[in-house]
Amino acid sequence: MEKNEVMADKLQRELSNRHIQLIAIGGAIGTGLFLGAGASIHLAGPSILLTYIIVGFILFMFMRAMGELLLSNLGFKSFGDIAHHHIGSMAGFMVGWTYWLTWIISGMAEVTAVAKYVDFWYPEMPNWITAAATILILVALNLFSAKLFGELEFWLSIIKVITIFALIIIGIVMIVFAMKTQYGPATVTNIWKEGGFFPNGASGFFMSFQMAIFSFIGIELIGITAGETKDPHTTIPQAINNVPFRILIFYIGSLAVIMSVVPWDKLNPDDSPYVKLFGLIGIPFAAGIINFVVLTAAASSCNSGIFANSRTMFGLAGRKQGPAFLHKTNKNGVPYYAILVTCGLLSISVILNAIFKDATKVFVQITTFSTVLNILIWAVIMIAYLGFLKHNPELHKESNYRMPGGKYMAYGILVFFAFIFVILLINSSTRLAVLSIPVWIGVLFLMYQKYKKESRKTEIPTETEEDVEEA
């Protein structure tokens, strides 16, 4: 009986190194890259490459800070745990429920996206049926074990990686042999010959930052998987340290190749540049191939959302900041109640797809809201890191995985996030989302009053590498 009780609230460490590596890749490569790259290039021109380098560097440093925090105490199972421990119970409550909301909204949007991509081949299939089938399949797979989630994410990410590598190799061949297209010969000079590196000036360059950072949403998933990772002291640093390489290859490499083959000003912002390039080289069914890849990217994102959401609710319940039943796990160490609640909420998208002919538009604005909240969470994690440096200087000193620059880098990252919020406030399409943040914080403050007394007493357990090995 005692053993069952212990197991009832304990996650199992089943995710191996290859799972974490591909989850990290999947988190960094989403539909934003395949579909949104055209709009990014249109806005910034060739300077989008510099945008991705800057954003990539900042987020790599953010990931280093997050990695240091996670490895300082292996008892951290979610971002809410980190905020609770280093800032306070209210911060943990707000981060936990905010992250939960971002994935619920994103999950509904991605389910709807899957339905739209299936529509490409089966236009007669009602979107709500596809959406329902997607949720049921992903939830069923997530209920079995964390390992099965990792396995599914591994193969979905492999598809994205192969596609990008294929595009880069084909593009390089075209450039090396100066192959002619309707736009002239493929050459690296195409990148800057139409108006230079900053054709749309400083405004185009700065406005592209929001689109670049949006495409990286999900990169922080490594932090959620930490609680179910085998040998975290080896696996997590490896996954994080590979982030810059991935950014260089997948984002900068692919976009540089695309703009070398097709001059940036000839790309339609509404079309996927990946479809454009595959189409130019005469690959039949180019649109179908990319459609399939984007479908898997959307399914991957939804799969990650179910995982992240269930673990976030598990953590909230464990800190006495949510219903106690959400902290229960099945014999496989999976928080099944939290997964079923997530499934129930995602099912709202099925209803919306049944009511609205084009439910995608319904989610455009609210997805922006969820993305803005996600950036806010990143900022809070950096504040938690500063709290860690102040209150646990000895752990920072002893750490084998420190963020370079320490507190100065942390302040620099926070300034960058503040800069992003200013851009979001200036942009009319995202302004409402930023202005809605105080409203959401007000709602959370009122919710917190119910759990305040108990959650303040809750302490995050300290787990060491030895504890993990014994388990």
Between 171-180, 254-263, 302-311, the lowest mean confidence (pLDDT) is in 302-311
Supply the pLDDT for residue 6. Answer: 34
Residue 7 has pLDDT above 90, yes or no: no
Q: What is the mean pLDDT of residues 7-28?
A: 68
Quote the number of domains for the chain. Answer: 1
Using one digit for the tens of pLDDT, what is the confidence trace for 218-233?
A: 788 877 777 677 888 8
Using one digit for the tens of pLDDT, what is the confidence trace for 267-290?
A: 888 777 877 787 777 777 777 888
Q: What is the mean pLDDT of residues 98-111?
A: 87
Q: Residue 409: which pLDDT band, with cuts at 50, 70 and 90?
A: very high
HEC profile for the chain?
Answer: CHHHHHHCCCCCCCECHHHHHHHHHHHHCCHHHHHHHHHHHHHHHHHHHHHHHHHHHHHHHHHHHHHHHHHHCCCCCCHHHHHHHHCCHHHHHHHHHHHHHHHHHHHHHHHHHHHHHHHCCCCCCCHHHHHHHHHHHHHHHHHHCHHHHHHHHHHHHHHHHHHHHHHHHHHHHHHHCCCEECCEECCHHHHCCCCCCCCCHHHHHHHHHHHHHHHCCCCCHHHHHHHHECCHHHHHHHHHHCHHHHHHHHHHHHHHHHHHHCCHHHCCCCCCHHHHHHHHCCCCCHHHHHHHHHHHHHHHHHHHHHHHHHHHHHHHHHCCCCCHHHHCCCCCCCCHHHHHHHHHHHCHHHHHHHHCCCCHHHHHHHHHHHHHHHHHHHHHHHHHHHHHHHHCHHHHHHCCCCCCCHHHHHHHHHHHHHHHHHHHHHCHHHHHHHHCHHHHHHHHHHHHHHHHHHHHHCCCCCCCHHHHHHC
Residue percentage of the chain with pLDDT more than 70: 93
CATH number for the domain that contains residue 183: 1.20.1740.10
Supply the pLDDT for residue 461. Answer: 72
Please state, in angstroms and rounded to a whole number, the distance separating the CA atoms of residues 220 and 240: 10
Residue 51 has pLDDT above 70, yes or no: yes
Stated length of the chain = 471
Supply the pLDDT for residue 390. Answer: 93
Residue 122 has pLDDT above 80, yes or no: yes
Between 9-23, 72-86, 450-464, the lowest mean confidence (pLDDT) is in 9-23
Using only the alpha carbons of the chain, give its radius of gyration. 22
Supply the pLDDT for residue 455. Answer: 81
Give the residue among 420, 365, 307, 393 at the shortest CA–CA distance from 59: 420
Q: Residue 5: which pLDDT band, with cuts at 50, 70 and 90?
A: very low
Query: The whole model's pTM is what?
Result: 0.85
Beta-ladder partners of 184: 181
Using one digit for the tens of pLDDT, what is the confidence trace for 244-270?
A: 777 778 888 889 998 998 888 888 887
Q: At what angle do helices 146-176 and 286-318 cross, to 10 degrees?
A: 140
Range of the domain at 287: 2-470
Supply the pLDDT for residue 1. Answer: 33
Using one digit for the tens of pLDDT, what is the confidence trace for 352-371?
A: 888 887 766 666 667 788 88
Q: What is the mean pLDDT of residues 419-442?
A: 91
Average pLDDT, the chain: 84
Supply the pLDDT for residue 12. Answer: 66
Supply the pLDDT for residue 61. Answer: 94
Supply the pLDDT for residue 251. Answer: 84
